[in-house]
Structure 1
Amino acid sequence: MKPTLAPLLLACLALLIPERSYAELQVGATIMDVTPVKLPVLVNGSMKSRSVDKVYTKVNARAIVVADGEDRLAIVVVDSCMMTRPFLDEVKKLAAQKTKIPADHMLISATHAHSVPSSMGCLGTSADPEYTPFLRGKLVDAIVAAEAKLEPAQIGWGVGNAAKFTALRRWIKRPDRISNDPFGNPTVRATMHAGRNWDDVIGESGPEDPDLSLISFQSKDGRPIALLANFSMHYFGAPSLSADYFGLYCNGLQEEIGKKLPKDAPEFVAIMSHGCSGDIYRRDYTKPQDQWSFTDDINEYSSELVKLTMGIYKNITYRKDADVEMAENRMQLNYRVPDKQLLEWSQRIVEKMGDKLPETQEEIYAREQIMLHERQSTEVVTQALRIGDIAIATTPNETYALSGLKVKAQSPLPQTMVIELANGGDGYIPPPEQHLLGGYNTWAARSAGLEVLAEPRIVESDIELLEKVSNQPRRFYEQSRGPAVETILGFKPSAYWRLDEFNGPRARDLSGNQRDGIYEPAIAYFLEGARSKSFCTGTETNRAVHFAGNRLQTRVNDLGDQFTVSLWIWNGIPLDARDISGWMFSQGPNHGLAAYGDHLGLGGKQHPGKLVYMNGTDRKLHAGKTAVERWTWNHVALVRDGDKLTVYLNGKPEIELESKPGASGVLLEQLFFGGRTDNDSNWEGRLDEIAVFDRALNAGEVSQLAK
């Protein structure tokens, strides 16, 4: 047999092809004291300018440098309220000259404490002229020092539920309690801390993000090097000069984890980065005031958060072969500049102020209009980085929790944290629909001045960068299907809207019949929905939309005089606010109340809390027997079987009557949820899991839908 040349050729090829290098992860971390040496110092975070002359706790910059043999990146979190992009660009340029880290591989963010030195002008406070250059040098030193400590390392990820530490601070006000903005216009439909008074509000304006995410770095032999935490809670508030709960948390973790380290071991570095929390605070306004005590003590709050962290930390597993990738995007965004009339109003006020600092809200926002007019636009930076299968995305803004949830849910890597106020301090970016609800977070200023579409543009940029660093496509978000979903689908609906969208204008039809609905503008998205354990699997939270005066428009063209409408309702408005608390379902032409169609609502001053039904033919109000409690989920079904109509509440008949069906024809194709056809007393609250069937379900089937 002749010898083959194949083995010889393979051996030669093996010599020519370089062996794939092993990505040895290296990590270094440090803490740099950035407490001002000269007092008093200006402190940011208030409407008016203020300064402090006492140090309550030190303020620090905490840095981590990560390398894989080819690439290096730096992550720095600073006890600062906000820092400008030009300032941070200068820091990065100087640090790049002293290290092997490219400037575009540096992430520098602020904790957003409101009791730390001001390094950025905002509202009534200017940047402290002596502290800013001092901080610049210290940040460069921190990056250099962290790089000098690089050593072989391993990385792990952990996440826990910290829901009791965070809640919505931005609530939607009743339609009859709208207040004025600084420009004298009645635009404030949603505002911070309105939830203190339950009589004034209809509910929260968005979801919270309860995730406490951890990235842990250890040496190869298991010695802790650093822990990077990420959590969505705005700030606590502290006296004098203080690092707020961020600093107390880090110190507590360093003490707990440091207990087991040898005395001569390198310093362990704990870091708390700021998650998306522009609409988040520590107090849960859904609970009575006497239950706020836990979150009103900064020491107890911080120590309890440390305990939760330690429970997560102990279960982290590690890998040593993680590689490093980082990318950034710079894009130009416009400011919402004043029109000619507003600019002239602002100029008159500022001219009258002279050289004095602004004192009133009117003066502050007048001055801000002139600044936005002068600037017109700005450059913002977004980043994404990957260490192994763990990712971080950034926004340079005070970002709503919803925006962070959007990024996490669509990231190619499930282990993703989002750090806000990174690489700039470009103010609040409410999702576009939230601009319609108004409030402080939307008032045009350096603290909230970017264009209305800034939020979706920044979120999309983050997701694109995550795709780039992971070399994987984004995930497309879809809620899991629990047993209640399967029950609805099993009954073959003509249309089924789960109302689980991040944003509008389209409500997806899950029936397969392609009957998507269209949200009108004033809608809040991704609120907690009905019965998560029934509609979702595992620990996933079911999602719903919150209606604030607008509706969901749909068309179903094959109902005839036999059909069923099934939905879950959550009423937000006090029952004594108006005659009818709200109409949840309506049938007929838009903008009018024609002489046909079925209309289903909830009583207010009339028939308090009870289901009410009206047919357009006689417009007589029929009421149920059982009152629905405010801020609770309840199942409602309207079943029309020719001349017979039955309305069910939680599976039991509430209204039974003989009622002529509406006139047949195209006009009855148009259905509205969250409001009546003529926009009278539209729904103020949440709706969820709306299904329409082209037949009259029997009592047993309705009972199954209510489970």
Structure 2
Amino acid sequence: MRSVAAILTIGVLIHFAATPTLAGLQAGAAVVDVTPTQLPVLVNGGMLSRSVDTVKTPVNARAIVLDDGKERLAIVVVDSCMMPRPLLDDAKALAALRTGIRADHMLISATHTHTAPSSLSCLGTDADPNYVPFLRDKLAEAIAAAEANLEPARVGWAVGNAAEFTALRRWIRRPDRIVNDPFGNPTVRANMHAGANWDDVTGESGPEDPDLSIISIQATDGRPIAVLANFSMHYFSDQALSADYFGLFSEGLKSKLTVEGDTSHPPFVGIMSHGCSGDIWRRDYTTSPPTEPAKTIDSFANELVKIALDAIGTIQYDEDATLAMAERRLTLNYRVPSAQRLEWAQKIVDAMGDRPPKNTTEVYAREQVILHQRQSTEVVVQALRIGDIGIATTPTETYALTGLKLKAQSPLKNTMVIELANGGDGYIPPPEQHFLGGYNTWAARSAGLEIQAEPKITEAALQLLEQVAGSPREEYQQSRGPSAEAILAAKPIAYYRLDEFAAPHAVDSSGHHRDAVYEPGVVFFLEGPQSDKFCQEGETNRAAHFAGGRLRAHMQDLGDQYSVSMWFWNGMPDEAREVSGWLFSHGPDHGLGSNSDHLGLGGTEHPGKLIFRHGGAGAKTEVGKTTIPRWTWNHVVFERDGEFVRVYLNGQQQPEIGVKLPSGLLSPRKQVFWGGRGDNESNWEGRLDEIAVFPRVLSTEEIKTLAGQ
């Protein structure tokens, strides 16, 4: 063993000595076929094990090597569902022996096609024992082949808008339509594809990312060498074995950018890497019936190629780009089963013997035993810089929100996020999403990391981006359009834009430092109202979606004259319950005070109309005039003027509700709630945004202005 190690060390030294170091950026690219030579082969991507003996399209490893004279790094994207870290560590070590590249300067990611050979054991499918060593060798071969093609190069960045080709697949279910998880517990408040039935849901559980990001690499004479694209769309679905739309996109780019008749240079390499797509798919459930942007996988890929080509045509290239790359390894715990669940699982696994699982119950029982045995795992996070372009990685199936967090806070203006890189560690929902349950949260190797895995991996990636950029991260703050400025000009004592990435605090943008607190049951960064008025330069206005939780604050100096301005979007159908949801409440927690105020939206009683109640049980309901459609943004002002209450809708001069109360007294408690009442009865199910509190009665002209008119 010592002699072998010595030979390998000498080989590495000889290779480094023989590798020229030239000033200026160099790039090389290559494609290596990783289609298995032994069929049938196990295939990842389903709940239960399956194998296939046919090949519809080849599956490939597509590699780029970059060198700036000081640093050399490799980026490889593989047509695979997921690849385990130990396999990739072995492949990198082997590639390091064959090249002048350090193992920690190699990024290897999966496209996440669900029709590729299995190299990772997950759910009901084991890794194919014949394919794993074959793939390891091919990955090293791809890196060496790309390095052999190094030549002087230049690099540029562009982004195309592909919003029509991606959408949220994870939707929030109504509180009365919760279903059971595989362990028999009613925990599924959100799940994939629930939006197919509008009657069951209140809205999407997060934002989407429409960016088709492009890193284009050319020879110094303008000849295309490679394009690395990145897009957040889970997979299209195809017959196995297949590279899915990722491979079709890559080949489509090659057909468009290859210089015809050029046999003196290496072939152009197109690459589609996987963006943050854990809660993303192609079907848009916001339309009825749900729509798909393309009828076939070919047309889907071809349309993305057109968007990419248009973006590439706008690029200005940099021939002097320098490189940097950094890596961090984290130990993360698994969410291991309780003693009771482990006992349940072990009985099922013992009865199975050596055979693979035959149903979902057996799958998740076996997963509990495996998580218990492993307890924790190591994950790899990376960041790299190519000139002013950044790439961050996650080793997981990552929600679109996480990718948006990294892009918005990156110290590098141009940043893409590649998921399932350097490992395949399953879904990492943001912590608030665990509260809503669903497949993406069920403890297994497909989603077994600790609840805090997402913020830990996100923070590690941001720190690495800071390291390679040599500058601090951006502090995200939503831009202020004219409507936001109008609210501030009216001098609120608190102003909540609800543009946060995460709990627990809703930041007070008024400057008075009255931050509010989100309770569990709220998700973040959904699209809000009037982006063109609340934000600048095309930025999307952001809102929070309430799914049983509330926003709460103490208003110590709120007197008997005040106004609350807010935007609301109702997700509940009128027939779901008596009150669709309570928007605002001023009074005690855990109950209803005799002098408390409550503003809500009617359900089976007074469907779709604003309602107001003063006091506790048996209080009279005051009802508005206008029926408000579900899933539409509306503006409301609640105004307390001593004994008088007035409620204004969408800037109208005449109030929807106007009532004189028998007493002008307010509750002595200073608790204020949005998205629910003090007693948590019929809390809001939908989005809220741009909440402002004023210590006075607003004029009708101010109300009109706050409504964006």
Alpha-carbon distance in 2 for matches of 1:512, 1:555 = 16
1:700 is aligned to 701
Whether the 8 Å contact between 1:122 and 1:447 is mirrored in structure 2 is yes
Q: Give, in whole Å, the separation in 1 of the partners of 2:290 and 2:366.
A: 40
CA RMSD of aligned residues (A): 1.2
Equivalent runs, 1:305-344 vs 2, <5 Å: 305-344=304-343
Q: Does structure 1 residue 656 correspond to structure 2 residue 658?
A: yes
**Unmatched segments (≥5 aa) in structure 1:** 1-20
Whole-Å Cα distance in 2 between the matches of residues 303 and 661 of structure 1? Answer: 67
Q: State how far apart, in whole Å, the 2-side matches of 1:513 and 1:640 are.
A: 21
Superposed displacement of residue 295, structure 1 = 3.3
- Over the matched positions of the two proteins, sequence identity in percent amounts to 64
* Deviation readout 1:21-65 (Å, 9 max, x if unpaired): 995000000000111111111000100000111110010000000
Alignment of 1:465-544 (within 5 A): 465-544=464-543
Aligned equivalents of 1:403 and 1:378: distance in 2? Answer: 21
Deviation for aligned residue 1:70:
1.2
Q: Give, as a single letter, the amino acid of the residue that structure 2 aligns with 1:658.
A: K
Partner of 2:67: 67
Closer, same or farther: CA 99–701 of 1 in aligned 2, 3 Å: same
Q: Which amino acid aligns with 2:428?
A: I
Q: 1:445 and 1:291 mapped to 2: Cα distance? A: 31
Deviation per residue, 1:613-632 (Å, 9 max, x gap): 11116711111111111111
The alpha-carbon deviation at position 290 of structure 1 amounts to 6.2
Counterpart secondary structure, 2:191? strand
1:246-289 residue CA offsets vs partner (Å, 9 max, x unmatched) = 00111111101125573544200000000000000000100122
Instruction: Tell me the secondary structure at the aligned position of residue 576 of structure 2.
Output: coil
**SS of the residue 1:404 aligns to:** helix
Whole-angstrom distance in 1 between the partners of 2:693 and 2:260: 61
Normalising by structure 1, we get a TM-score of: 0.96
My pick for the range that moved more, 85-94 or 643-652, is: 643-652
Aligned-partner residue type, residue 616 of structure 1: G
State the alpha-carbon separation in 2 of the partners of residues 134 and 291 from structure 1.
40
After superposition, give the CA deviation of every residue in 1:476-496 in whole Å (9 maximum; x if it has no partner). 000000000110001100100
Rounded to whole Å, the distance in 1 between the matches of 2:645 and 2:222 is 69
Separation in structure 2 between the aligned mates of residue 333 and residue 290 of structure 1, nearest angstrom:
38
* Cα distance change, pair 144–259 in 1 and its aligned pair in 2 (3 A): closer
Q: 8 Å contact 1:23–1:322 — kept in the other structure? A: no
1:387 maps to 386
Counterpart position of 2:81: 81
Aligned to 2:575, what secondary structure does the other structure show? coil
Residues 1:166 and 2:161 are matched in the alignment: no
The C-alpha deviation readout for 1:314-348, integer Å capped at 9, x for no partner, is: 11110111111000000100000011101000001
Correspondence for 1:118: 118
Instruction: Give the C-alpha shift of residue 559 in structure 1.
Output: 2.2
Q: Secondary structure at the match of 1:526?
A: strand
Match of 2:240 in 1: 240
**Separation (CA, whole Å) in 1 of partners of 2:155 and 2:479:** 30
Letter of the 1:105 partner, please give it: H
Local SS of the residue matching 1:118 = coil
The secondary structure found in structure 1 opposite 2:687 is strand
Alignment of 1:394-473 (within 5 A): 394-473=393-472
Counterpart of 2:150?
150
Inter-partner Cα distance in structure 1 for 2:259 and 2:521: 52
> Letter of the aligned partner of 1:317 in structure 2?
Q
Summarize the Cα distance change of 1:600–1:65 in structure 2 as closer, same or farther, 3 Å threshold: same
The 3-state SS of whatever aligns with 2:656 is strand
Which deviates more, 418-427 or 635-644? 635-644
Deviation larger for 466-475 or 638-647: 638-647
Secondary structure at the aligned position of 1:141 is classed as helix
User: SS where residue 592 of structure 2 aligns?
Assistant: coil
Q: Which amino acid aligns with 1:598?
A: D
Matched, 1:676 2:653: no
Distance 2:131 2:493 in 1: 64
Change (3 A) 1:129 1:513: same
CA deviations on 1:523-575 (whole Å, 9 max, x unpaired) are 11000011100100111000000000010001222221111000000000111
Greater shift, 414-423 or 641-650, is seen at 641-650
Partners of 2:357 and 2:314 in 1: CA distance: 52
Partner of 2:93: 93
SS of residue matched to 1:441: helix
Q: Deviations over 1:597-626 (max 9, x none)?
A: 210000000111000011116711111111
Equivalence map 1:283-302=2 (5 Å): 283-289=283-289, 291-292=291-292, 294-302=293-301
Counterpart of 1:107 in structure 2 is 107
Give, as a single letter, the amino acid of the residue that structure 1 aligns with 2:353. G
Q: Could you list the runs of 5+ residues in structure 2 that have no partner in the other structure?
A: 1-20
Residues 12-23 of structure 1: pairs in structure 2 closer than 5 A: 23=23
| Residue 364, structure 1, aligned to residue 363, structure 2 | yes
Aligned equivalent of 1:685: 686
The whole-number CA distance in structure 2 between the counterparts of 1:504 and 1:249 is 38
Task: Judge conservation of contact 1:214–1:229 (CA < 8 Å) in 2.
Answer: yes
Could you tell me how far apart the structure 2 residues matched to 1:322 and 1:662 are?
68
1:85-118 deviation per Cα after TM superposition (whole angstroms, max 9, x unaligned)? 0000000001001111000000000000000000
Instruction: Write the distance in 2 (CA, Å) between the matches of 1:289 and 1:61.
Output: 38
How far did residue 354 of structure 1 move?
1.9
Residue 268 (structure 1) aligns with? 268
Q: Is the 8 A contact 1:23 1:323 kept in 2?
A: no
Q: Distance in 1 between matches of 2:481 and 2:344?
A: 56
Q: For 2:350, give the aligned amino acid.
A: E
Task: Indicate whether 1:279 and 2:272 are aligned.
Answer: no
Residue in 2 that maps onto 1:190: 190
* C-alpha distance 661-597 of structure 1, shift in aligned 2 (>3 A): farther
Contact persistence 1:559–1:695 (CA under 8 A): no
The alignment's TM-score, normalised by the length of structure 2, stands at 0.95
- In the TM superposition, residue 406 of structure 1 has moved relative to its aligned partner by 0.5
Report deviation, 1:644: 1.8
Structure 2: how far apart are the matches of 1:550 and 1:285? 24
Number of the residue aligned with 1:623:
623
Shift in Å at residue 664 of structure 1? 4.3
Contact 1:591 1:677 survives alignment (8 Å)? yes
Q: 1:353 to 1:662 in 2, by over 3 A?
A: farther
CA distance in structure 2 between the aligned counterparts of 1:661 and 1:31, rounded to whole angstroms:
78
| Maintained 8 Å contact 2:588/2:667 | no
Q: Is the 8 A contact 2:206 2:401 kept in 1?
A: yes
Equivalent in the alignment of 2:31: 31
1:648-679 CA-partner distances (Å, limit 9, x unpaired): 11012211111246634640x21000001110
SS at the partner of 1:295? coil
Which has the higher mean CA deviation after the structures are superposed, 614-623 or 335-344? Answer: 614-623
Letter in 1 for 2:659: L
Q: CA deviation at 1:464?
A: 0.2
- The alpha carbon displacement at 1:291 in A equals 3.4
Work out the CA distance in 1 between the residues paired with 2:329 and 2:290: 47
What per-residue deviation string (whole Å, max 9, x for no partner) do you get for residues 190-214 of structure 1? 0000000000000000000111100
How many residues align? The count is: 685
**Corresponding residue for residue 3 of structure 1:** none
In 2, distance between residues paired with 1:260 and 1:634?
A: 56
CA distance in 1, matches of 2:626, 2:413: 45
Q: Alpha carbons of 1:22 and 1:133: their partners in 2 closer, same or farther (altered >3 Å)?
A: closer
Amino acid at match of 1:208: E
Measured in 1, the distance between the counterparts of 2:404 and 2:278 equals: 13
Q: Could you tell me how far 1:510 is from its partner in structure 2?
A: 0.7
Q: Is the 8 A contact 2:570 2:686 kept in 1?
A: yes
Verify the 8 A CA contact 1:598 1:662 in the aligned structure 2: no
Q: 1:496/1:23 Cα in 2 relative to 1: closer, same or farther (>3 Å)?
A: farther
